[in-house]
Amino acid sequence: MGGEHAEVVRLLWGPHPKPARGPRPTLDLDRIARAGIEIADSEGLADVSMQRVAAQLGVTKMALYRYVPGKAELVALMVDAAIGPCPAAKVRRGDWREQLEEWARQLLTVFRQHSWALDATVGPRVMGPGELSWLERAVSALDGTGLSGAERMDAAVLLVGHVRGITQQTRAAGPGGNPEAQLGTILGDLMQEHGERFPALTAALASAAQSDGQDQAWDFGLQRILDGLAALIDRRAR
């Protein structure tokens, strides 16, 4: 169990011993990951293939297999490099709510910049140092709140889930048009034809038509989660 993970762990966490003999490598893991990220950012994850990445680096596809055992590992490297290390907090320590809110906004920004990372992070996987640094900051923001270790981690996971959910329904909406309107348009067309089967939905949609907040769903969910955490923390404090 977990033996198959050993390889990707070594790739993500090192060490990376440089060879003693033989010709010098033309590539390195970092350049490979960055090349893949460049393609994924501009053309989507589906267009990331060994050939494509190799071409980007001016090399044959098989050369990549000298550095990376397979495509799965390549993608794992790309994800961790794209998510990157979590930037340091700017708000004062001690206020967990402000810290978590800033953290969530930063995470959302990163996910929006590399929205292909969503596709590449379905299912449980080995996390790299970048991804773990994000988790670290979220958990540390909750230090001293009276929450147990498991609860602090659960809270972080909950927030990540929201970020992912929002990223999912946001992306592919052109940078100009707001995503809720786009979703509403598609839904509205369907409701016009099958509305009688979904009365509550049509009503909600009609009432939601004039609300035009850019990030309404994001802020709503974020505040609800933070409210829920605050309620628990208060209860514990008493």
Partner DNA sequence: AGTATCAGTGTCCACTGGACACAGTTTTTT
Partner DNA sequence: AAAAAACTGTGTCCAGTGGACACTGATACT
Q: How far apart are CA 128 and CA 83, in angstroms?
A: 10
Q: Which residues neighbour 5 within 8 Å (Cβ) at sequence distance 6 or greater?
A: 126
Q: Does 19 bind DNA (CB under 7 A)?
A: yes
Q: Which is nearer to a second copy, 112 or 164 (CB)?
A: 164
Q: Which of residues 2, 3, 22, 175 is near DNA by CB under 7 A?
A: 22
Q: Which is nearer to DNA, 27 or 132 (CB)?
A: 27
Q: How far is CA 105 from the centre of its chain?
A: 12
Q: Does 62 bind DNA (CB under 7 A)?
A: yes
Task: State the binding partner of 152 from DNA, a second copy, none, CB within 5 to 8 A by kind.
Answer: a second copy
Q: Which of residues 61, 171, 197, 224 is near DNA by CB under 7 A?
A: 61
Answer yes or no: are the C-beta atoms of 236 and 147 closer than 8 Å.
yes
Q: Does 148 bind a second copy (CB under 8 A)?
A: yes
Interacting positions 17-76 with a second copy (CB under 8 A) = none
Answer yes or no: are the C-beta atoms of 26 and 59 closer than 8 Å.
yes
Annotate 204-224 with b (16+ C-beta within 10 A) or e (fewer): ebeeeeeeeeeeebbeebbee
From the list 50-58, 100-108, 113-121, 229-237, the region that binds DNA by CB under 7 A is: 50-58
Interacting positions 26-45 with DNA (CB under 7 A) = 26-27
How many CB atoms are located within 10 Å of the residue 18 CB? Answer: 8
The angle formed by the CA atoms of residues 51, 128 and 85, to the nearest 5 degrees, is 100
Q: Which of 169, 154, 153, 152 is nearest to 218 (CA)?
A: 169
Least distance to a second copy from the beta carbon of 76, Å?
A: 13
Interacting positions 165-194 with a second copy (CB under 8 A) = 165-166, 168-169, 171-173, 179-180, 182-183, 185-187, 189-190, 193-194
Give the binding site for DNA (CB under 7 A).
Answer: 19-27, 48-52, 59-63, 65-67, 70-72
